[in-house]
Structure 1
Amino acid sequence: MGAKSLTRNEAEQRAALLTVDRYDLAVDLRGLFAGEVLESTATITFRCGTPGTETFVDCAMDVRTATLNGVPLDLATVADGRIPLPDLAADNVLVVTATQDDTAEGAGILRTVDPTDDLVYVWTSFEPDEARRVWACFDQPDLKAPHRFTVSAPPTWTVTSNDAPESVTDLEDGRLWTFPDTPPLSTYVVVVNAGPFHEIRSERGDHDLGIFCRQSLRGVLERDAPLIFDVTEQGLAFFGEQFGRPFPQRRYDQVFVPDMGGAMENWGCVTWGDGMVTRSAPSYNDEIYFANVILHEMAHQWFGDLVTMQWWDDLWLNEAFASWAADWALTGATRFTDAHAVFLAQFKMFGYRDDMGPATHPIRADIPDVDAATANFDSITYIKGQGVLAQLVAYVGEEAFVAGLRAYFRDHAWGNTRLDDLMSAIGTAADRDLGAWTHAWLDRAGTDTLTLGDGAITAASPDDDAPRPHRLDIGCYSRTGSGRGLELTETVEVETAGVSTPVTLPAADLRLLNDGDLTFAAVRSDEATTRALLDGAGDLPTALGRGLAVTTAWDMLVKGELPTAAFLDCVLAVLEREDSPALVEPFLTLAQRAVERWTPDAQVATAQRRLADVAAALAAVDEHRQPALSTLAATATDDAHFALLDEAVAGADDTDLAWSLLTRRAELGDPSPAAVAALLERDPDPDARVRALCVRAAQAEQAAKEEAWTEVFEKRSVPAGTAMSQVASAFWRPGQTDLLLPFAHRYVDEATRLSGGGMLAVMSLFRMMVPGVADDDVIARGRMAADDPAMQPQVRSTMLTAMDTLARMQRAQAG
């Protein structure tokens, strides 16, 4: 159903006119048990500061009845997802009953049938403006109000919302779930989920913690329950103390649902895509990523839910803060004390990638309407934003930063803010004027390059403005006969200013610029120091140091300053002796990406063999075995590799590894249909059919690629998130360039007509299916398509970044 995007001007006018007192929402889910129809009745109590004027309420549904202050509204005037509200009184009550039968695309609501047992599950997710697809509301972040839900559901379903239910009573054909008033919340952070969930609860500290999943995943959720409950308990205690404001309600739930890409920070009831729950035993990096998401969504309870941005141009305030706070809490409150090394080695490069491309934008962006906001759910908002917040902490000091946060939450609880409110609180606590810092870091796009030369750090800005100020460390390392080979002898603290900042450094065998990864910048050194860094990366004594060395080499590869073979020499040499589980999996992933995407087709097989040999050796170490076997399954080239994998699959009954092995064999020309059918029969995973599709997608055959493409783009049958990532990886295989190039062109075609589905679904589909191959024509067509003003903003930004990356890959492959 067509719905017009709310503009910033419209939101400002409506916020100046209205005060919303409360929402009373009656939601009937019974029509979703065997059908596609949801019905809701929204009773909205609100005040108008200028009686006699008019406005509109958002409702992208089939409106059945609408009354304002007891007077029926003319439904013929409903258009573009809006109901006009004429002649407002000072005090108003609006009642709207509407139905929604578009429950299959994930736009606000998704109804899913589990293929293993035919059980039905329903979830809602409303960011940025999709609550209007489930009930009438003033769908903008700065019209906060208490919400009270009554939900009619089938008798076998459990319903979750933002707090524990007050009562559950029987109906003739179901049950009525009644929930208490929420605190004043924005419309995008309320929630209703329902289905025959498996539920696990645990009393931890002052909180009643719950986790839910579909019945077919109860085994894996029970396996992971101790980790979930431990990290949740630790996070609630840590944030409550650090922010000077404990989470104010006892109940805190996390609901794992099918076919959802990502997770959503609904107040007191976080919703996750259950693809994040690994089917096989999780690796260390699986666990730390899982814990990070728990803490990211939890941090939003304060930063986003308690205090909310006024408009979407400050989206980064929500997301960057939650990302930074998650790593902060992981390091300070859990066993994952090496969280920052994982962020550096696994994620930060995506922030650098987006910031060097044509879709870059300032962290604080100009967002004229909500549609434009969807383009900014990207690595600049999340990852660069996190890196810049880490730089702000280094710039003002953690003590002042935390004091500023406490004042911010105290002064703005249950309200809405702009960036200046936060920076004022931190600047006051630090006794520093942050105006110039704010402009330099948040209002300008692009990444500075810092180069350590003879007695000075030279800073180069990506624009015509002066370089940003950087607070960073230079680690001075000397060769030693023990340990890894390099020992930190001195750390020199520096705060740069302008183009050149003098530094006095002691004698050292290696100087590491930005040691500790305090700032967001590309770092370079003179030729001799760079050679020492690449050759001695594995000798650095800390995981962060080795992470910085390898990711610097990756940045040089991406920017055409280092051949792919030289990058592989560096990362494989580090992996041969790496002992940190925080780095092994990210480095294996980087090496595999370099082999598959940045290496000429003629050299891929040799590079795969090199990587497979390293992975096979790492598989002999228990704590590295799982990621090493996963990499080996994607790169195995000889009988010894396959024998090791066959033994591992048989010994551990690891269905994930078994699927990966079948996918690799299919890629090499052995599709093994009997083995696929047998594994499909014994795999209990409700998404096992997707793994079978991966085996098909990997084959170097036109019919196989067509089948996979149809499932992804036409049938939309592949769940968002992990499943989509698996299919994409299997589809775009190296060495299949001639076969895959037409599909790269079709990817561009799909972008021009992509419609339907919620933000999370579209992001999952289009970002994960970015081609692994291209030629000049594909890149030119992609760039031209992105110029079409009709293209969805989030699709346009993905297309621009993808084409920039593909062009860089082409240049690297050409040598």
Structure 2
Amino acid sequence: MTELPRPANENLTRDEAAGRSLIVRTHDYTVDIDFSRAADPAVDTYPVRTRVTFDAEAGASTFLDYLGARVTSITLNGRELDAAAAVDGARIALAPLAEANEVVIESESIYSRSGEGVHRFVDPADGATYLYSQNEPVDCRRIYPCFDQPDLKARFHVTITADASWHVASNGALLAEHPVAEGVSRREFAVTEPMSTYITTFLAGPYALWHDEYAGRTASGIEITIPLGLACRTSLADSLDSDELFEITKRGLDWFHRHFDVAYPWGKYDQVFVPEYNLGAMENPGLVTFTERYVFTSPATEAQREQRANTMLHEMCHMWFGDLVTMVWWDDLWLKESFADYVGTLAVDEATEYTTAWTTFASRRKAWAYRQDQYPTTHPIVADIVDLEAADQNFDGITYAKGASVLKQLSAYVGQDTFLTAARAYFAKHAWGNTTLDDFLDALGEASGRDMRQWAHAWLETAGVNRLRVSTSVSDGVITSATLHQDGIDPRTGDPVLRPHVVRIGVYAPAEDGPAEFEAAHAVRISGASIDVPELVGAAGDRVLLPNDGDLTYAKIVQDPHSLEVVLDAGLDDELARATALAGAWNTVRDGELPAERFVDGVVAGEYLIDDTGVLANVLAQATAALAAYTTADTRQRLLARWVAFLMDAVVEDPSPSDRRTVLLRTLFAALGEARSPVPPVLEVVRSWIDDSNFALGEELTWSAWVVLSAHARVDEASLRAAQAAAPTAVSAVGLTRALAARPDAAVKDAAREAAYSGRAADGTVLSNDQLQATIDGLGIDPAGVGAGHEAEYWQRIEDVWAAQSQGQSTRVVTGLFPADAELADGDQARHPFVVAAQEWLSSRGNAPAALRRIVIEQLDDLQRRLRAQAASAA
């Protein structure tokens, strides 16, 4: 595999991009890619011919972005340039420019194993080769030379040469196929509408195909017909549920046509599920790519199907917000992602059979936002994205989940109809163009009749999470006064932050036997530190009060002691309220205010109430994480043993396959990966499940079981390899890697650690993104503690990792190998040796890449939070 070090000029800055935009106005790309030798493992590059036409200032100079293996020729306006002189690292210099320019470049690009650029995958099931591309934010330059920034849109004419038996696709519809050699053909695709480079896409391989057609109309009556396609690897074809996928697609298109009133603008609508994908999905117009984890080869819960539907409609939303209208630069990355996150969830809730989308959002999605927003590295939703490394790091919980939560609050603030009216006006005005946040705020202001700038400043230009709580006075068993309070601190500055919130305060009546019952909800608007809530006066003093009932706003809730006790002991009778309340309780655990054991007791007491398996999976995972990280070493194993026993009993009581059993088994296997000395019969039962066809674990859970058994030395390497050879799939290949790295042997752990740091297996093979992550995951499953004691090596090697591996791969390593297993007995959050080592590295590495420093800062914050939570559990 051809590997090149990361060039020093790989990290394009915002100022450089803005300067290039002043000079360059792009028109067309003609990209001719040759994948004809892709199936040969000895060939690690592919030829590309790129033609770009653009206008410029006469006499000026500029550059194209490119991260290929080599450039063999460059012709600018009919004049051949010296390629050796023009190519400098990640850039190709072009000078002198005319007013109208044409550059033609012949080059060789590199097949990727990291999920960046054109990724090549060989199916372990049948040996077939599959290719697909992933370009956001700036990996298009790994495929062909380009102006790789979102505001330099162009039309794309793509041709791909490949095996004639393969399915080959791009953004545009297939126009023609021309034989070029025996078994090889050249496919020509329709020229696209103007679009950014990061959403160009290329696909080739023996994919299985399904076809359908959508017929509908916009709100204003424009009729539209759209060819629909689905694709996945042939070995997964039997598991792809095409009827459901097409149905969700059609319902989504109906919803967006009704609410956006702009006909889908990209011709065909293909959706393909691809292996070893770094993301959930990508909004390439005309050819959306998804992780093939959404092709369920094992029993999938309703929550997993809902999540898939959510991802599908998130990407569909981007066809308008992101693709049709695109941000100028990555500062406004948040707006396209937050909009799609919020509106995609809204569409799932209103257009599909999945009616718990907002419950899942409250439980899972917002937990990501709350965590990210409390790091020292948090940033305003409108982030200052100074360069590409910062853009790559800002695909985070602020950009997606906090932004979506704030847009949900905005919709409550101005009204949902007004919000969607603004979106329609925005699309009509800016179609095919590039915009900034101000353009969207102008549309909102016109639709709502309000000046949105003050709202935008409070919500979008400050960082941190507000807290909401209700205080009451009670006399003779009745509430005599009630006040809603808010507070908040910007972690970056330490300054107070108060924001305008539209919320509801829920009132729940405790029951003698069962969950507290919903009684009323009172709408409140708060913008300062407090506001009286007269509607609560006269209510019984024993009522459970839930700030942010309905989860309308983005804020941590602080429940009064009585309400929190009822939530943890009896629960609430509404699914969304229950998810909101438990999310609030989890935040108090992470803040070191509620002992982990008390939270877990609440989960055990109330888990039977949770119907939404997405929420159930989330709170059970939180309980496992709390016991593994937020308890003290002297109590942890006792508590984990009790937790394992509870999970085992729950599975045994209802062993028939079901969504609930699947969630319980996943949690059980995760807990067993943390437990040092599980009772032997537990592992014997787990082993028996693998061979019991009636128990029906399925592929995913079977390999989770193998990993647990391997971590506890209950299966040898030969048996693991035999199990994988008996069913050679992508899932089993990754499972085998995790299981081998999980073995409780110091030499095994040393080898896995070296593989992660080097990015290569023991035989020198470059690890794919999935195999690298599986190695890191398996290394981290260490109930025997045999892999400890290598903290110093981490600080010695992470800068070399960052320089040698791609940012995506190195992020996995730096995050996954961070020394995090700190124990309070060895020191508190200020004096623990792990804390001190991280602080010393940060203080001595002020010139380290900002993105690398950010990861270390966040991991250090998690480490200190762990120690604070352990102190709370010990109190």
Compute the TM-score of the two structures, normalised by the length of structure 1. 0.93
- In structure 2, relative to structure 1, the CA distance for the partners of 1:748 and 1:474 (3 Å cut) is farther
Instruction: Please tell me the residue identity of whatever aligns with 2:339.
Output: F
Is the Cα–Cα contact under 8 Å of residues 568 and 605 in structure 2 kept in the other structure?
A: no
Is the Cα–Cα contact under 8 Å of residues 671 and 696 in structure 1 kept in the other structure?
A: no
Identical-residue share of aligned pairs (%): 33
Which of 53, 65, 72 is 2:73 aligned to?
A: 65
Q: Deviations for 1:264-317, whole angstroms, at most 9, x for unmatched residues?
A: 221111223334434312122222222222222222111111111001111101
Which of 528, 531, 542 is 1:501 aligned to?
A: 531
Is the Cα–Cα contact under 8 Å of residues 124 and 733 in structure 2 kept in the other structure?
A: no
Counterpart position of 1:181: 191
Distance in 1 (CA, whole Å) between partners of 2:52 and 2:626 is: 55
Counterpart position of 2:822: 774
Distance in 1 (CA, whole Å) between partners of 2:26 and 2:229 is: 31
Q: How does 1:201-240 map to 2 (within 5 A)?
A: 201-205=211-215, 206-220=225-239, 222=240, 224-240=241-257
Instruction: Please tell me the residue identity of whatever aligns with 2:837.
Output: R
| SS in structure 2 of the partner of residue 804 of structure 1 | helix
Which of 194, 207, 216 is 2:204 aligned to?
A: 194
Counterpart position of 1:601: 633
Counterpart position of 2:500: 469
- In structure 2, relative to structure 1, the CA distance for the partners of 1:130 and 1:662 (3 Å cut) is closer
| SS in structure 2 of the partner of residue 112 of structure 1 | strand
1:389 pairs with 2:407: yes
1:631 pairs with 2:650: no
- In structure 2, relative to structure 1, the CA distance for the partners of 1:211 and 1:105 (3 Å cut) is same
Q: CA deviation at 1:562?
A: 0.8
Counterpart position of 1:582: 614
Is the Cα–Cα contact under 8 Å of residues 469 and 498 in structure 1 kept in the other structure?
A: yes
Q: CA deviation at 1:466?
A: 4.2
Q: Deviations for 1:710-760, whole angstroms, at most 9, x for unmatched residues?
A: 4434344697777666654543246545x3433455444443222455554
Q: CA deviation at 1:179?
A: 0.4
- In structure 2, relative to structure 1, the CA distance for the partners of 1:154 and 1:580 (3 Å cut) is closer
Is the Cα–Cα contact under 8 Å of residues 303 and 612 in structure 2 kept in the other structure?
A: no
Is the Cα–Cα contact under 8 Å of residues 261 and 764 in structure 1 kept in the other structure?
A: no
CA RMSD of aligned residues (A): 2.5
Distance in 2 (CA, whole Å) between partners of 1:716 and 1:390 is: 44
| SS in structure 2 of the partner of residue 115 of structure 1 | coil
Instruction: Please tell me the residue identity of whatever aligns with 2:822.
Output: A
Q: CA deviation at 1:634?
A: 3.4
Distance in 2 (CA, whole Å) between partners of 1:72 and 1:87 is: 12
Q: How does 1:373-384 map to 2 (within 5 A)?
A: 373-384=391-402
Q: CA deviation at 1:425?
A: 0.8
Which of 351, 361, 375 is 1:333 aligned to?
A: 351
Instruction: Please tell me the residue identity of whatever aligns with 1:27.
Output: I
Q: Deviations for 1:532-570, whole angstroms, at most 9, x for unmatched residues?
A: 33333x2x1111111112111111111110111111111
Counterpart position of 2:311: 293
The runs of 5 or more residues in structure 2 that have no matched partner are 216-224, 473-481, 673-677, 824-831
| SS in structure 1 of the partner of residue 552 of structure 2 | coil
Equivalent residues, number: 808
Counterpart position of 1:56: 63
Q: Deviations for 1:154-210, whole angstroms, at most 9, x for unmatched residues?
A: 333321111221111111151101001111000100011212222222334433222
Q: CA deviation at 1:676?
A: 2.2
Q: How does 1:166-565 map to 2 (within 5 A)?
A: 166-173=175-182, 174-205=184-215, 206-220=225-239, 222=240, 224-262=241-279, 263-454=281-472, 455-463=482-490, 464-480=495-511, 484-504=514-534, 505-506=536-537, 507-508=539-540, 509-536=543-570, 538=571, 540-565=572-597
| SS in structure 2 of the partner of residue 178 of structure 1 | strand
Instruction: Please tell me the residue identity of whatever aligns with 1:799.
Output: V
Which of 801, 808, 814 is 1:754 aligned to?
A: 801
Compute the TM-score of the two structures, normalised by the length of structure 2. 0.87
1:689 pairs with 2:719: no
Instruction: Please tell me the residue identity of whatever aligns with 1:742.
Output: G
Is the Cα–Cα contact under 8 Å of residues 172 and 286 in structure 2 kept in the other structure?
A: yes
Q: CA deviation at 1:645?
A: 4.2
Which of 116, 119, 124 is 2:128 aligned to?
A: 119
Instruction: Please tell me the residue identity of whatever aligns with 1:457.
Output: L
- In structure 2, relative to structure 1, the CA distance for the partners of 1:227 and 1:796 (3 Å cut) is farther
Distance in 2 (CA, whole Å) between partners of 1:719 and 1:492 is: 55
| SS in structure 2 of the partner of residue 741 of structure 1 | coil
- In structure 2, relative to structure 1, the CA distance for the partners of 1:746 and 1:336 (3 Å cut) is farther
Q: CA deviation at 1:708?
A: 2.8
Q: Deviations for 1:618-661, whole angstroms, at most 9, x for unmatched residues?
A: 43173411111222233354466456645654111523222222
Distance in 2 (CA, whole Å) between partners of 1:747 and 1:123 is: 33
Q: CA deviation at 1:93?
A: 1.4
Is the Cα–Cα contact under 8 Å of residues 477 and 510 in structure 1 kept in the other structure?
A: yes
Distance in 1 (CA, whole Å) between partners of 2:669 and 2:390 is: 40
Distance in 1 (CA, whole Å) between partners of 2:489 and 2:79 is: 59
Is the Cα–Cα contact under 8 Å of residues 449 and 459 in structure 1 kept in the other structure?
A: yes
Instruction: Please tell me the residue identity of whatever aligns with 1:689.
Output: A
Q: Deviations for 1:304-340, whole angstroms, at most 9, x for unmatched residues?
A: 1111100111110121112112211111111111011
Is the Cα–Cα contact under 8 Å of residues 486 and 530 in structure 2 kept in the other structure?
A: yes
Counterpart position of 1:157: 166
- In structure 2, relative to structure 1, the CA distance for the partners of 1:740 and 1:227 (3 Å cut) is farther
Which of 93, 99, 114 is 2:108 aligned to?
A: 99
Instruction: Please tell me the residue identity of whatever aligns with 1:68.
Output: L
Distance in 2 (CA, whole Å) between partners of 1:767 and 1:340 is: 30
Q: CA deviation at 1:478?
A: 1.5
| SS in structure 1 of the partner of residue 152 of structure 2 | coil
Is the Cα–Cα contact under 8 Å of residues 576 and 618 in structure 1 kept in the other structure?
A: no
Instruction: Please tell me the residue identity of whatever aligns with 2:362.
Output: L
- In structure 2, relative to structure 1, the CA distance for the partners of 1:791 and 1:448 (3 Å cut) is same
Q: Deviations for 1:204-229, whole angstroms, at most 9, x for unmatched residues?
A: 44332222222333333x3x333322
> Which piece of structure 1 moves more, 110-119 or 506-515?
110-119
Counterpart position of 2:827: none
| SS in structure 1 of the partner of residue 788 of structure 2 | helix
> Which piece of structure 1 moves more, 170-179 or 140-149?
170-179
Distance in 2 (CA, whole Å) between partners of 1:379 and 1:716 is: 30
Instruction: Please tell me the residue identity of whatever aligns with 1:500.
Output: S
Is the Cα–Cα contact under 8 Å of residues 55 and 99 in structure 2 kept in the other structure?
A: yes
- In structure 2, relative to structure 1, the CA distance for the partners of 1:360 and 1:575 (3 Å cut) is same
Distance in 1 (CA, whole Å) between partners of 2:64 and 2:81 is: 12
Q: CA deviation at 1:362?
A: 1.0
Distance in 2 (CA, whole Å) between partners of 1:681 and 1:10 is: 51
1:139 pairs with 2:167: no
Is the Cα–Cα contact under 8 Å of residues 320 and 386 in structure 1 kept in the other structure?
A: yes
- In structure 2, relative to structure 1, the CA distance for the partners of 1:278 and 1:104 (3 Å cut) is same
The runs of 5 or more residues in structure 1 that have no matched partner are none
Is the Cα–Cα contact under 8 Å of residues 341 and 404 in structure 2 kept in the other structure?
A: yes
- In structure 2, relative to structure 1, the CA distance for the partners of 1:108 and 1:729 (3 Å cut) is closer
Is the Cα–Cα contact under 8 Å of residues 227 and 267 in structure 2 kept in the other structure?
A: yes
Counterpart position of 1:664: 708
Distance in 2 (CA, whole Å) between partners of 1:54 and 1:730 is: 50
Distance in 2 (CA, whole Å) between partners of 1:759 and 1:218 is: 33
Which of 13, 26, 29 is 2:32 aligned to?
A: 26
Which of 789, 795, 803 is 1:742 aligned to?
A: 789
1:798 pairs with 2:832: no
Which of 8, 20, 23 is 2:14 aligned to?
A: 8
Is the Cα–Cα contact under 8 Å of residues 75 and 104 in structure 2 kept in the other structure?
A: yes
Distance in 2 (CA, whole Å) between partners of 1:431 and 1:473 is: 24
